Amino acid sequence: METQDLLINYNWKQVLNHKKITEDLQLGNSLVIIKGFPPSDDELQSFISRLGMVLNEKRNNNGKAVFDVKIARRNHFFTSIANSNLIFPLHTDCADFDIIPNTIGLLCVEPADEDEGTNHFMFLNSLLKHLSEDEKQKLLNKKWKFRNQERSILEIENGNYKICYDRITMESFSQLAKTEIEELIHLDKLFKSLSFSIKLEKGDLILFRNDLMLHGRNSIDINSNRLIKRIRFTINQV
C-alpha cells in the first residue's frame, strides 16, 4: 500500500470544507494532512472546534486544549513520555480515560532533524484483515488493565470494531504474567509490521483517528528543538 493512497491533502490557503474533512475521517482508513497551517494555538483550537468536540487536558496541561509536545524536564525527569526523547511505540492516546477522544490533530511547528521523530501509524483495518476469527475473538474477550479501566484491545461498538492499546499503560499498572508479556511482545511486532511512517514537515497539521488506528514515533535527539502541537477531540458524526 502506498502512503500517498492513505493521505488526503489540503492546503491552509484553500477554502477548507469542514464537513468534507469530517467525512474523510469517518471510516478511519485515511489520514488528513493540511499543509501550511499557521503555528497558532488559537487558530488550531478554533479550526478543530469546527470538526468536533475539543478535549481540554487536565493532566499535565492545566485544562488547555493545545499541548506542546517537546522535550521537557522537571527536576531532571521528563514530564511525560510525549515530553521525552524516547521512542513511543504504536499506541492509543488516553487509553485510561473514561471516554477516549476518537481523533487527534498534530501540528508540526518545528520538525526534528532528518529521520528522527518520524511518526508511525497502523490502520485497524489492516490488522483486521490480518487476524483470524479466533485471534479477533481473543482480542475482543480478554480484558487488560489500563490504570483504572478494564478494557479489551478490540471492541465492537454499533457493529464496528475499535482498538485500544497502550503497552506502557498496560504494563505500568498491573503485574502481568510472563505469557501476557509475550502476548504483548507478539502484538507489538505484528502492529509494527503493519505500520507505515510519515515524516511531518513544518506547517503540516495531521488529523487521524485514535480509535481506528494506532500511532507512535521514533526517538529524538535529546537536544532537538522539535515542537508538535497536539489537540484531541471527538469528531462530529456525519
Q: For residue 143, what are the β-bridge partners?
A: 152
Q: Which stretch, 92-100, 153-161, 183-191, 198-206, contacts Fe ion (CB under 5 A)? A: 92-100
- Grid cell for residue 145: 488493565
Cβ nearer to Fe ion, comparing 133 with 167? 167
C-alpha cell at 208: 487521524
Task: Mark the segment that binds Fe ion (CB under 5 A) among 49-57, 89-97, 110-118, 221-229.
Answer: 89-97
Count the residues of the shown chain that bind Fe ion, applying the rule CB under 5 A: 1
Alpha-carbon 69 to chain mean position: 13
Could you say whether residue 166 binds Fe ion (CB under 5 A)? no
Comparison of 30 and 120: residue with beta carbon closer to Fe ion? 120
Which residue sits closest to Fe ion, CB atoms considered?
93
Could you count the other beta carbons within 10 Å of the beta carbon of residue 210?
25
Stretch that binds Fe ion, among 42-50, 88-96, 133-141, 193-201 (CB under 5 A): 88-96
User: b/e map of 19-33 (b: 16 or more CB within 10 Å)?
Assistant: eebbebbeebbbbbb
Residue 111 CB, shortest distance to Fe ion, in Å, is 17
Indicate which single residue of 22, 37, 93, 103 sits in contact with Fe ion (rule: CB under 5 A). Answer: 93
**Nearer of residues 154 and 213 to Fe ion, judged by Cβ:** 213
- DSSP E strands in the chain: the ranges are 7-11, 31-35, 52-54, 67-69, 73-74, 77-78, 88-91, 103-110, 119-123, 143-146, 149-152, 154-157, 160-163, 196-198, 205-209, 213-217, 227-235
Q: State in angstroms the smallest separation of the CB of 19 from Fe ion.
A: 27
Q: Closer CB to Fe ion, residue 68 or residue 135?
A: 68
Q: Report the nearest approach of Fe ion to the CB of residue 156 (Å).
A: 23
C-alpha separations of 61 from 51, 55, 144, 211 in Å? 22, 11, 27, 22
**In the complex, what is the shortest distance from the CB of residue 220 to Fe ion, in angstroms, rounded to a whole number?**
14
Specify whether the CB–CB gap between 130 and 227 falls below 8 A: no
The span of 93-101, 112-120, 127-135, 192-200 binding Fe ion (CB under 5 A) equals 93-101
Q: Minimum distance between the CB of residue 183 and Fe ion, rounded to whole angstroms?
A: 22
Provide, rounded to whole angstroms, the least separation between the CB of residue 53 and Fe ion: 19
SS3 53: strand
Q: How many residues does the chain have?
A: 238
Residues that bind Fe ion (CB under 5 A): 93
